[in-house]
Structure 1
Amino acid sequence: MSVEPSSAAPNLSPTRPRPTVPGPARPRGPRPGPVRPEPARTPAYGFWRRLLPFLAAVALTVRLPSFLHSFWSPDEGYLAVQARILAEGGELYETVVDRKPPLLPWLYEAAFVLLGDGSAQVMKLLAVAAQFTTAALLAAFARRRWGDRSGVTAGVVFLLISVGFIPQDTQAVTFEVVILPFTAAAVLCADRGRWGVAGLAVAGAFLTKQTGGVVLVPVLWLLWRAHGAAPSRAPLRTGLLRTAVGFAAPVVTAALLTDPAGFLFWTVTGSGAYAFSLDGSELHVLVRAVVNSLILGLCCIGVLPPVRRALRIGRPPASAGLVDLWVWFGASAGAVAVGFHFFGHYFLQLLPPIALLATAALRSLRHERLRRVLSVPAWVGACFVVWAVFAPRSELTHAERVATAVREHSAPTDRVLVWGMHPQTYHLADRAPASRYLTAGLLTNFSGGRDGPQVGEAYSVPGAWQIFAAEMRARPPALIVDDSRGKPYAPDRLPTLRRLLAGQYEPLPGTVEGTVLYVRSSGS
């Protein structure tokens, strides 16, 4: 009888071990994160064909109130008077002076030469174009990084928050408005590795206003990030060289087209007291800084929560790849704070990086939620626009009344001196200024909003009073308008001006809302 082996019996025969096949070596270090999908993008032509007209309409809408008045701020008046002097053959930093670089005065001059000195509305269109261009550049930056929807969000958010200050700061055609497209272009070009063009854009911002040059900081950061880790330092050196040449060429050209010594003095070395003196004005400056910071928070109230979420490092996508934007924001904040003035229009320089940071945080929201979030800055912006339409313009009304009095007591060919902080009076009165110094601020340091002891002849631009006295001797004005109205720069506090009025002029009967007019005395 034979026994069949059980199928369940174990197989005790020796087995040959399987050869081990080595797998791919696992790289050391942190595990790579998940591969993110590319941002959704439609063809460029279709995207921009739909977006650009919309951004243009929004930019025009939020700045419509600017067309209601000829001047919104003394800066606009200053630029208009400068432009008239330059259009008639004057020289910047010689015939007329200012602490600002020449680009915006030249743009005003070009408008006056081509269209006449009544072309203030053209400059308001320039401001609309600047806002629109900034929004489009921010949209291009966001679309490149995060896709089509983020591009739309960035452009719209910027325009909605761009009117979130008092009307004098947002509706005027001022230096800060014209800075913005240059700063946005500089960062966009740096993000694309176009270093020479980025340098040109930095120069454009600097030649509009000195603080615009701080956009060089994020540009250099992007350059270091793009080339700093490369095995060879040649690309880094090449990028630095291209950026430097792109920046230096326009700046040197502008200096040569004016007066190099005057350009250096008025834009860099001659404004120390204005930029850095604070003694006696601490409370005044602190209140202004707090108030304008609160207004900034109000205009950004709808986007502040997502920006706060962007600060939470380690929670993508809200915080990933935003270091360059925070560098840009930090550099702009430094530009706002330098000089301790904190005027509302200074804060406009913060808006482009804020718009992009908000966009980065909003890109993870669903469409319905995104629309609800954007409705908040839309309503806030609408309130600021309505405010600009109905806000009283007491200072402009006062300047118009003074200008009427100036026309009544002087001839069209007479030169007059308006001693005050409203140079638009010259333009409104159609009279030529008797001095290259268009405001009392350049001669007293009051133009920084000082209310403390550092106001007076001793704190003027170096050498200004000697030049002013020579101007008064060579061509005495037919009319002097004391528009100080009790301010610290009143003539009775300034020996040179006090002696001039006492020796050669006599006051006209009555005043224009506290403004005193002096005509030449019969014996002078």
Structure 2
Amino acid sequence: MLAEPPPSLRSATTSIPAAKGRRPTDPRAPEGYWRRLLPVLAVLALLTRLPSFRHPLWSPDEGYLAVQARLLASGGTLYTTVVDRKPPLLPWLYEAAFAVCGDGSLGPLRLAAIAAQLLTALALASTARRRWGDGAGRAAGVLYLLVSVGLNPEDAQAATFEVFMLPFTAAAVRCADRGHFTRAGLAVAGACLTKQTGGAVLLPVLWLAWHHPRPLRTSLLRTGVGLAAPVLAVALSTGPSRFLFWTVTGSAAYASFTGSELHVLARGLTNTLILAAGCAGLLPPVVRVLRIARTGAGDLWLWLIASAGAVLLGFHFFGHYYLQLIPPLVLLATGALQILPAPRLTSALSTCACACALFLVWGVLAPRPELAHSERLAAAVEARTTPTERVLVWGIHPETYWLARRAPASRYLTAGLLTNYSGGRDGPQVGEKYGVDGAWPVFRTELADRPPALVVDDSRGKPFAPDRLPTLRRFLAARYERSAVVDGAVFYVRADRPSPGRT
């Protein structure tokens, strides 16, 4: 049996429900409220992402997007000559940033990521303010930005899919909370078109539609139109069958749990513990209120559960997946703090600030050995080729192409797309037959029509090494000569390459 809550908490439990019993905000000064809060959140968003400017790249995902953007800018076609398992919004954003600011730096994308985090914080603050008052709005915005960096810096500071997906998810809940279901559907579409798992936010949107006074049929229709229109437009612009294949049906092997189960589960446990440390100020109030009261915030719990399902989907548990959990957790904690004594809010803010400081120090001081490796390879590739020559980097670090300023010889920018290793698998489901369906015939044609001037085998003993792949092994044996070893990677030059290009 649960302990009887103190009188102060018993009398306050009715203030927490998400759809009923909201505290009214002051309608006379909404502009003043946001005019004061916006600068605070903007400065905090900048401070929490300052470490992102320390390195040219934080993750292979950033490298992949950068190479995609260059290929698109040079006339490539998405899902035809430029491919990935992701929706198109972020590659298009990278392409646009490169077109405006040049393609030699990700600085503009770092600024865009700051803006994305600020927009997420504002949307959460707006939702919390509507439900629980002005103070809750301020708390939600600040708490979100403090805990948004509570992961490995490689996951939290990179300008990748989840960071740009979160403003759409927060906006979807905000719009649905106000009964603006067409806008909510548009926001869900934006989340899905940034990363597929952004669609998890549709569940709390539907919950809010169910509980809204407007007829359910009308709310569902408006949500469906808002969601379907952008998705259909993008599918038509990129080719419906190709869009469906690369974003949904072509990832069956990648999403399998078979292979490296212990490794993947250990990664999941590690990242869960890291996130728990980053959210140390949020978890106690949520747990405390769960023990003493019904929160009534069913949509927020559904959002958190759906986001947890999105993290589980595919069974990879990469750290950046966990970013999706933070917005609903922040709102739940903010709601919980409204029925707890005031010192609990101070404690939560202090704890989150301390955790944030530790993660920022980690971001500033943490070494990036894989980036250093890619930089050494890129320098060697640049020295051994001309700007017009194509190269093949057989590995899982597509950033080498971007750093070397050399075009890839294949549309498949990592060995993972051709072997299924991109999910971190090191077990039985790695090899030619586990690659993306139909990829190897296309790959063979690419190599035959335009053989790369240089092949870099960056497998370094991993299961996708060329000697385990008959097609690639025969191709290298027939047409290439081993020329050098750079930082563990083996360089092969084409046997018929003109001697002035050789080293």
Q: If the length of structure 1 is used for normalisation, what is the TM-score?
A: 0.89
- Residue 411 (structure 1) aligns with: 386
CA contact (8 A) 1:446 1:455 kept: yes
- Residue 182 (structure 2) aligns with: 196
- Residue 150 (structure 1) aligns with: 136
- Residue 98 (structure 2) aligns with: 112
Aligned with residue 341 of structure 1, among 296, 311, 316: 316
Aligned with residue 266 of structure 1, among 239, 246, 256: 246
CA contact (8 A) 2:304 2:328 kept: yes
- Residue 456 (structure 2) aligns with: 481
How far residue 38 of structure 1 moved from its aligned partner, in angstroms, is: 3.3
Aligned with residue 443 of structure 2, among 457, 468, 483: 468
CA contact (8 A) 2:182 2:226 kept: yes
- Residue 29 (structure 1) aligns with: none
CA distance, structure 1, for counterparts of residue 179 and residue 381 of structure 2: 56
- Residue 218 (structure 1) aligns with: 204
For residues 266-287 of structure 1, the C-alpha deviation after alignment (integer angstroms, 9 at most, x for no partner) is: 0011110001x22231101110
Give the AA of the match of 2:41.
Answer: L
CA distance, structure 2, for counterparts of residue 280 and residue 186 of structure 1: 36
Aligned with residue 512 of structure 1, among 469, 486, 496: 486
- Residue 421 (structure 2) aligns with: 446
Matches within 5 A, 1:16-95: 38-39=23-24, 41=26, 43-95=29-81
How far residue 86 of structure 1 moved from its aligned partner, in angstroms, is: 0.4
CA distance, structure 2, for counterparts of residue 40 and residue 240 of structure 1: 28
For residues 108-131 of structure 1, the C-alpha deviation after alignment (integer angstroms, 9 at most, x for no partner) is: 011111222124100011110010
CA contact (8 A) 2:421 2:430 kept: yes
Give the AA of the match of 2:489.
Answer: T
CA distance, structure 2, for counterparts of residue 191 and residue 310 of structure 1: 22
Please, which moves more after superposition, 155-164 or 109-118? 109-118
Which blocks of at least 5 consecutive residues in structure 2 are unaligned? 1-13, 499-503
- Residue 9 (structure 2) aligns with: none
- Residue 168 (structure 1) aligns with: 154
How far residue 523 of structure 1 moved from its aligned partner, in angstroms, is: 8.3
Give the AA of the match of 1:515.
Answer: A
- Residue 117 (structure 2) aligns with: 131
CA distance, structure 1, for counterparts of residue 268 and residue 299 of structure 2: 26
1:358 is aligned to 2:338: no
How far residue 320 of structure 1 moved from its aligned partner, in angstroms, is: 3.2
- Residue 370 (structure 1) aligns with: 345
Aligned with residue 98 of structure 1, among 62, 84, 109: 84
How far residue 441 of structure 1 moved from its aligned partner, in angstroms, is: 0.4
1:430 is aligned to 2:439: no
1:301 is aligned to 2:280: yes
Aligned partner of residue 362 in structure 2, secondary structure? helix
For residues 234-253 of structure 1, the C-alpha deviation after alignment (integer angstroms, 9 at most, x for no partner) is: x2111111111100110011
CA contact (8 A) 2:453 2:497 kept: no
How far residue 181 of structure 1 moved from its aligned partner, in angstroms, is: 0.4
CA distance, structure 2, for counterparts of residue 155 and residue 522 of structure 1: 61
How far residue 40 of structure 1 moved from its aligned partner, in angstroms, is: 5.0
1:278 is aligned to 2:257: yes
Aligned partner of residue 492 in structure 2, secondary structure? strand
Q: Cα gap change, 1:286/1:249 in structure 2, threshold over 3 Å: closer, same or farther?
A: same
CA contact (8 A) 1:310 1:360 kept: no
For residues 14-47 of structure 1, the C-alpha deviation after alignment (integer angstroms, 9 at most, x for no partner) is: xxxxxxxxxxxxxxxxxxx899683454721111
CA contact (8 A) 2:90 2:194 kept: yes
1:388 is aligned to 2:334: no
How far residue 426 of structure 1 moved from its aligned partner, in angstroms, is: 0.3
CA distance, structure 2, for counterparts of residue 142 and residue 175 of structure 1: 25
Give the AA of the match of 1:518.
Answer: Y
Aligned partner of residue 506 in structure 1, secondary structure? strand
CA contact (8 A) 1:111 1:119 kept: no
Aligned partner of residue 519 in structure 1, secondary structure? strand
Q: Cα gap change, 1:137/1:497 in structure 2, threshold over 3 Å: closer, same or farther?
A: same
CA distance, structure 2, for counterparts of residue 37 and residue 114 of structure 1: 45
CA distance, structure 2, for counterparts of residue 416 and residue 39 of structure 1: 62
Give the AA of the match of 1:346.
Answer: Y
Count, aligned residues = 480
CA distance, structure 2, for counterparts of residue 154 and residue 137 of structure 1: 9
CA distance, structure 1, for counterparts of residue 253 and residue 21 of structure 2: 53
How far residue 301 of structure 1 moved from its aligned partner, in angstroms, is: 1.0
CA contact (8 A) 1:130 1:180 kept: yes
For residues 289-327 of structure 1, the C-alpha deviation after alignment (integer angstroms, 9 at most, x for no partner) is: 1111111111111121101023236x2xxx333111000
CA contact (8 A) 1:422 1:439 kept: yes
For residues 187-216 of structure 1, the C-alpha deviation after alignment (integer angstroms, 9 at most, x for no partner) is: 010010000000000000000000001110
- Residue 108 (structure 2) aligns with: 122
- Residue 28 (structure 1) aligns with: none
Give the AA of the match of 1:205.
Answer: A
How far residue 256 of structure 1 moved from its aligned partner, in angstroms, is: 1.3
CA distance, structure 2, for counterparts of residue 154 and residue 258 of structure 1: 38
CA distance, structure 2, for counterparts of residue 36 and residue 219 of structure 1: 19
- Residue 291 (structure 2) aligns with: 312
How far residue 408 of structure 1 moved from its aligned partner, in angstroms, is: 1.1
CA contact (8 A) 1:310 1:357 kept: no
Give the AA of the match of 1:167.
Answer: P
1:521 is aligned to 2:501: no
- Residue 8 (structure 2) aligns with: none
Q: If the length of structure 2 is used for normalisation, what is the TM-score?
A: 0.93
- Residue 373 (structure 2) aligns with: 398
1:251 is aligned to 2:231: yes
CA distance, structure 1, for counterparts of residue 36 and residue 296 of structure 2: 28
CA contact (8 A) 2:56 2:105 kept: no
CA distance, structure 2, for counterparts of residue 257 and residue 223 of structure 1: 30
Q: Percent identity?
A: 65
CA contact (8 A) 2:281 2:347 kept: no
CA distance, structure 2, for counterparts of residue 436 and residue 504 of structure 1: 20
Provide the aligned C-alpha RMSD in A: 1.6
CA distance, structure 1, for counterparts of residue 282 and residue 251 of structure 2: 37
CA contact (8 A) 2:171 2:184 kept: yes
How far residue 497 of structure 1 moved from its aligned partner, in angstroms, is: 0.4
Aligned partner of residue 83 in structure 2, secondary structure? coil
- Residue 27 (structure 1) aligns with: none
